[in-house]
Every structure is written in C-alpha cells, then in structure tokens.
Chains A and B, each alone.
Chain A
Amino acid sequence: MKSRMESVPVVKKEPGKVKDIISLTKGRQGQHYKVVSIAGGGDVQTRLASLGILPGQKIRMVQPSNFGPVMITVKGSKLALGRGVGFKIMVQPISA
C-alpha cells in the first residue's frame, strides 16, 4: 500500500515571502510547513509549546480538513488540533 502522503506533490516555494503565510487550517495534505507565528493568548501558546509547536518549528500536515480538526506531526508525534486552534497557527510551506 502506498502512502497517500507520498502521492501529493510537494509545493516548492521560496521561503520568506509574506504572501505564502497561511493559517494551518488551509494546509495541504503531506505538505511540510514552518510555524511562523501563533496568535491568541498565552495559554494557547504555552500549551502548544509543551507539545513542541513553536514559531520556527517544522511540522507536517497529515490530514487537513475543511470543517473539522486537523492532524499534524511534530517532533515525531502526531497531534490533533481543533479548528479554532489550527486557525491561530500561521505557517509557511517549506520543502521536506
């Protein structure tokens, strides 16, 4: 069985362009991202930090969703993030 993630072409974009920055909820399946910023109160930020999500961190979108929570991997563990949380995480696509 071939992983679905492999079949998605990796979008190669030059890093650093502001227009690339999207909210994590708009992420694409299998794409790697770098966290640019996390909006919201200190609680959300601290909570995400304890699970490894910080600005500058690389993450991979495992399962995006148009109306539900998203699934990502970060530092070797898999996390489910509710839509509200995902919306607050701004990311930028990077090559793997």
Chain B
Amino acid sequence: MGITTIKIALTGNPNSGKTTIFNALTGAHQHVGNYPGVTVEKKQGHCHVDGIRLEIVDLPGTYSLTAISEEEVVARNYIIEECPQVVVDIVDSSNLERNLYLTVQLMELGAPMVLVLNMFDVATRQNMSIDPDKLSRILGVPVVTTVGHKNKGIHELRQAILDFSRNKSESFQPQIDYGPEIEQAISELEKHLDLPGPVGLRKRWLAIKTLENDPIIVRKVHEYLPENHVIWSSLIQVRQKLQKLYGDTPEILIADKRYGFISGIWQEAVKPGVEFRHDLSDHIDAVLTHPILGLPIFLGLMYLVFSLSFSLAAYPTGWLEKGFSWLGGFVGSFWGPGSEDLLRSLLVDGIIGGVGGVIVFLPNILLLFLAIALLEDTGYMARAAFIMDRFMHRIGLHGKSFIPMLIGFGCSVPAIMGTRILDNKRDRLTTIMIIPLMSCGARLTIYSLFIPAFFAREWQGPVLWLVYVIGIVLAAVLAKVLRVFVLRGESVGLVMELPPYRMPMAQGLLIHTWQRGWMYVRKAGTVILAFSIILWALASFPKPPKNELAGITDPVMKKSAELRYSLVGRIGRGLEPAIKPLGFDWRIGTALVGAIPAKEIFVAQMGIIFSVDDSTGHQNPALSQKLQKNYTPLTAFCVMVFCLISAPCLATIAVTRKETGSWSWALAQFFGLTGLGYMITLIIYQTGTLIMSR
C-alpha cells in the first residue's frame, strides 16, 4: 500500500504571503493581513492530489527559529515534534535576503523542505532576476515560483510537494561552514551530546543551539545531562573563548555567518534590481508617518472610521430592529392578545428580545471591523503602531499594543485574541487587562439610549466623546499602574516590520471582517442566548401571589409589579443601598445585574422594568420619556460611566481566562474594573451633586 496522506507544514516570514498560499492550496477561508504576525493560530486544511490527501498546517509567521517569541517556539516545536513529511517554506522573492534567514535555519534543522519563491511577479517588476534552478542546486531543495494572490504556481507547488515526498532520499542539503573557531566549539559540544533518549534531532543542530544558549534546547539537554556533566563547563568555556576572540556573543557570530552564507547564495543566484516598491511606500510614509502630520492624520482617520461606521450602520440596524419586532409580534400572535403563557413569554421576551437586542447591533460591528481590516490589509495599522509608540511608551507599553486596543472599540473578544501579536508576556497581560476600557460597540447601545434622552442636541456629540475619552484615559493610567506595581520588568520595545503599502484584496477584507463578526454572532448565539433564558427566568420567577396583583388591570403595570417581585427585582433592590451613592435606584441596579452577561442587555432590561412593551427597541421614545421623568442628566451620565468601566461582559471574561491561561487574571479583571468603576462613578456623582446643590 502506498502513501495515502502526507503531512505538510507551511512556514515563512510574516508578510511573505504564506496565508494566501495556504488559502490557494486548501481553498479554506482564511485571513490575509499585512500586519506582521497575523497568523498566530495553528490553521489546518487539506486537499487532494492524485488521490493522495495533503494535510496542511499553516504555522505562525516567524523571522527566525530562536526561542524568543511564542510563535517561533510553536513553529519550531511543530516541525521537531510532529515531523511533517514536507515543510513548505514560503519566502517573499522581493525581500529574498532577509527571508532566506529562516530558510537557512530550517535547513540546519534538517527539515524536509520545499522552497516557494512567492510574489515572484514583484521581484520581476523590480528587475530582480532570481534563478530558481540555481537556488535549488545550492540549497539542495526543490524550488517553486508562485504568485499567491493570482493563484499562479499553486498547481506546480502541489506537484512538487508530491514528487518530493516520493523521492526524498535524493535530496542533499549543504551545511553552513561557521569558520574554524566556531566549528571547533560545535564539534566540542557535539562530542558530549550523546543523549541516551530518542531525541530525534540532528546532533549538529543541538550543538549549535546549545552554543547559542537557546533556553528551551538547553533545558531539554539538561533533562538528559545533569548539572555536573562535562558539557556545561565546556559550554561556558567555548562561549567565553569565542566572545574574547571576536568581542561578540556566539549568537551574533552564528547569525552573522548565516547571513554570510545567504550572501554567497545571493551572489550566485540573484541579480538585484531597483527597489521601487519601497520608494513608493517611502513617499506615502513621508506624509502618513510624518513626525508632526502623522498624528493628526491618524486621529482624523479614526474619526472618519467611527463616524462612518456608525452613520452607515443606522439603516441596516433600523431594518433589523423592525425585523425582530415583527418576529416577536408574529411568534406572539400564536397565543392571542394578552396571553400569559410562559412559553410565549420565554420566546418573545426572553429569546427574541435578548438575542435580537444584540443582533441589531451587528451592522455597526461589521462596519467597524471592515474598517479595521482595511487599515490592516493596506499596511496602515503597522504605521498607526509606529505613530502611537511614543505615547504608548509613556504608559509602559509599546506601539504594537495599540492595535488590539483599537479593535477593542469594536468588541473586546477579538481584541483580546488580537493581543497574540505581542511577544512579551507582560506586555500582553497589561494590554488584555486594559482592553475592556476601550468602549466597545455593545456599550454604545446604552449611550445611544441615554444621551439623546438627557442631553441637548449640541451636547450629544461632546458627551459621547467624553465617555470614550474617560475610558482611554483610565486605560492609560491602569496600564501604567500595572507596569509599575504588578507586571514590572523591561520589555524589548518596539521592533516591527513595516510592510510595504498594498492594495487590499476585497476577498481578504470580507473574510477578515466576517471572521471577527462571526465571533460576535456566536457570542449572541451562545453566551447571550443562554443568559437571556436565565435572565428571563430570574425576571419571571417567583410570581407574586394573586392577591398582590389584585386591582392592577393595566397589563404593563402588572408586568412591572411582577418584575419587582421576581429574583432580579429582589437582587436589584438588595443592591440599592450599595449603589445609592452612585445615584442609582433599584431599577438601574436590576438592569446592571442583568447586563453582566452582555452590556447590550442593559437597554432591554430597562425596557422591561419601565414596562415599555418593546424590549428590542433602542432610542425608544416611550422609554426615553420614562427615563427623563425618573432620572437626572447626572445620573444618566453616571450610568454610562459605570457601564463603561465596570464588569466586562461574560464573553470577555471567558476569553481573558482562555488567553491568560488562568482564572485569576480573568477574575482580577472583572472585580478590579468593577471596583474602579464604582470609585470613579462615586466621585463623579458626589462631586456633581455638590456642585449642583450650590
């Protein structure tokens, strides 16, 4: 029986077009971004060639195979531990020299490699002439040229993978000559590396990595060779010797030799052309990242993104609202008017009301994500990180953290997942903790209920702006506090590739937008659906005894009385003493408890409490009037501030737990932010009351 499946791993630098090749090979829908390190998850797919199944894993994009970033470790471990039959290394032909650094390291690792010269058209346009055959002969690996986004060379690549997996024994890969001194050190270490266990690695590679002081490899070798083994004293000796001889650490000397080897390849197989791609990008950067103009342009773009996504979303949001209220009416009509059937109440008030209230917000979220995808795919996002770096530096973070924070204005869930682009664990934790303070789209529903109800038209914009700014300022303060007191320690700082500006592809944008939007829909379908049902139950039971409702004939009044008697009402009333100093009454308390699963629910809860018989409607005139009668603008403002800061939604807590790997960070986030929200709101309300009473 012949081979029926072949395991394949794709590797390559960020921005080498790796994900595009993955899509072309597998047909799977994946995102292609310009921002370095977009592929942080292990993505899998498969395809069939000649009746043979190719199982393909898209490894994270890396520049190197050291142990510095999580992505590098993930990629390296996969190749070592999972032993894919073919490792497809995708390089950006127009940036060949730097890209080959990873190739050379894969070669040293002994990976069974097929080299893909992607973006070959760009290299040709730059009058760069690369000889694939020569490259193949020098490196001892099959070489295929492709233009990923035009689907060129994909068929040839599939065939090359297949051919290679059949005749692997013929391949021969050269070895880098590190020069007499380093070679001597390598063979010295190799002598001691007779590991007893089945390590399954080239001894030379282990020796080089040990010499480089690679923490993970050193730890692994330690498992076999104890502290008193001769290798460790030998390691110190050879490292010191090399350092003395060259004045640089062995890591740097080895990297230098690798580049020297690449330079040799380059001279033989490449005729360089003009780099006019970078010239165009330079011209754009001269304006967009200008030391003075850069920031105002960035802020202007942000303003455009937000105002456009909110104003354009207004129409589809209106249609969805109408649709859900029709659906509620349609489902309710099966029971006849005034029915008190529990099932009707569950379906109409609980499920359609709860989930509908979230889904109507989808157009807004999708447009915001589309705008963010556009910024990413053109390459501007990396520039935004560059522009913001100096400000982020002041709060103890660096520019890269800014990207997930920006996504946080849409939804905290994809934003927290987006922190994977940060290599440093402390940077990542700090960013995760402050992301909920970026006012997400869900909280906008609350603002759009309260602001028009309580503030004159000319004040509505500034008040909304103020709420967002409060969040941003608090995020900055919190980040600084975390970095000074909790997550101390220096980070490497910003080291980031700025990819050339590119025309985004419509397909890529849509896939990216959809993937993030889907996360939001899934949240509505799972977490929010479940909690809508639970909340409905809490708000419906226990039913008040019949005699308490005697005399109340108005169905709306009756509903309100029932809610007051229910568990939610009791919790809300129980909370009243605690939230009274914030200017909140039991009704707001009830809605706040209800909004713990998802902020959007707050509006629906207020609707129920004030017995406005339309729980899906935002900017509901009836509800606005009732709110105006019961609260002051100060209380309205305090509600918004409290909802902004306190209690990130359950989906956020869940994703924080998943991304930090511990409940303690998730709970610290929840209770810490709730405490902070309480304090800030208390200060605002008490100060406000004092000023007004004068």
Residues of A in contact with B (beta carbons under 8 Å apart): 1, 3-5, 38, 42-52, 54-57, 62-63, 65-69, 71, 73-85
Contacts and interface: CB of A to CB of B under 8 A. Distances in A.
Contacts of B551: none
A11 to B, nearest CB: 20
A57 B493 CA distance: 21
B251 A79 contact: no
Interface stretch (B274-282, B588-596, B613-621, B642-650): B274-282
Interface string B62-96: 01101010000000000000000000000000110
B492 A43 contact: yes
A52 B13 CA distance: 13
Given A54-B259, A55-B252, A80-B385, A67 B390 contact: yes
A76 B98 contact: yes
B389 interface: yes
B494 A65 contact: no
B283 A1 contact: yes
A92 to B, nearest CB: 16
A83 B390 contact: yes
Contacts of A47: 68, 492, 495
A82 B252 contact: no
Q: Which 7 A-B pairs have the closest CB atoms?
A: A82-B494, A50-B64, A82-B493, A68-B390, A49-B255, A84-B493, A50-B63
Contact of B390 (A3, A43, A56, A69): A69
B495 A48 contact: yes
A73 B281 CA distance: 12
Nearest to A49: B255
Contacts of A66: 291
A76 B399 CA distance: 22
B390 A79 contact: no
Contacts of A71: 285, 289, 386, 498
Contacts of A85: 492-495
B520 interface: no
A69 to B, nearest CB: 4
Nearest to A72: B498
B278 A78 contact: yes
B60 to A, nearest CB: 14
Contact of B249 (A45, A57, A69): A45
Given A51-B63, A85-B492, 12 more contacts: A1-B283, A3-B282, A42-B213, A46-B68, A49-B252, A51-B495, A54-B252, A63-B286, A69-B399, A71-B498, A80-B386, A82-B389
Contact of B95 (A56, A57, A62, A76): A76
Contacts of A46: 64, 66, 68, 212, 251-252, 255
A52 B259 contact: yes
A63 to B, nearest CB: 6
B261 to A, nearest CB: 13
Contact of B252 (A45, A77, A78): A45
B68 A3 contact: no
B249 A82 contact: no
Nearest to B275: A76
A28 B63 CA distance: 28
A79 B252 contact: no
Interface of B: 63-64, 66, 68, 94-95, 97-98, 101, 212-213, 248-249, 251-252, 255-256, 259, 275, 278-279, 281-283, 285-286, 289, 291, 382, 385-387, 389-390, 393, 398-399, 492-500
Contacts of B281: 78
B399 A82 contact: yes
B98 A77 contact: yes
Contacts of B68: 43, 46-47, 50
B285 A76 contact: no
Given A45-B252, A63-B289, A71-B289, A76 B278 contact: yes
A42 B332 CA distance: 68
Contacts of A63: 285-286, 289, 291
B106 to A, nearest CB: 13
Nearest to B249: A42
Given A50-B101, A52-B98, A67-B390, A79 B497 contact: yes
B-side binding surface: helix, strand, loop or mixed?
helix
Contact of B251 (A4, A42, A77, A83): A42
Nearest to B258: A49
Contacts of A48: 495
A47 B528 CA distance: 43
7 contacts: A42-B249, A44-B492, A51-B63, A51-B497, A55-B248, A82-B399, A83-B389
Contacts of B494: 69, 80-82, 85
B399 A80 contact: yes
Contacts of B95: 75-77
Given A42-B213, A78-B497, A83 B285 contact: no
Contacts of B249: 42, 45
Nearest to A52: B98
Contacts of B382: 80
Nearest to A69: B389
Which of B386, B495, B500 gathers the greatest number of chain A CB atoms within 10 Å? B495
Contacts of B275: 76
A80 B496 contact: yes
Contacts of A75: 95, 97-98
A82 B393 contact: yes
A91 to B, nearest CB: 16
B330 to A, nearest CB: 55
A75 B263 CA distance: 11
A84 B283 CA distance: 26
A81 B495 contact: yes
B435 to A, nearest CB: 21
Nearest to A84: B493
Given A50-B66, A85-B492, A85-B493, A76 B94 contact: yes
B496 A79 contact: yes
Nearest to A67: B390
A14 to B, nearest CB: 22
Contacts of B64: 46, 49-50
Contacts of A82: 389, 393, 398-399, 493-495
Contacts of B398: 82
Contacts of A44: 492
A30 to B, nearest CB: 10
Nearest to A54: B256
Given A52-B259, A63-B291, A5 B282 contact: yes
A30 B539 CA distance: 67
B286 A78 contact: no
A46 to B, nearest CB: 5
A55 B97 CA distance: 17
Contact of A80 (B94, B278, B498): B498
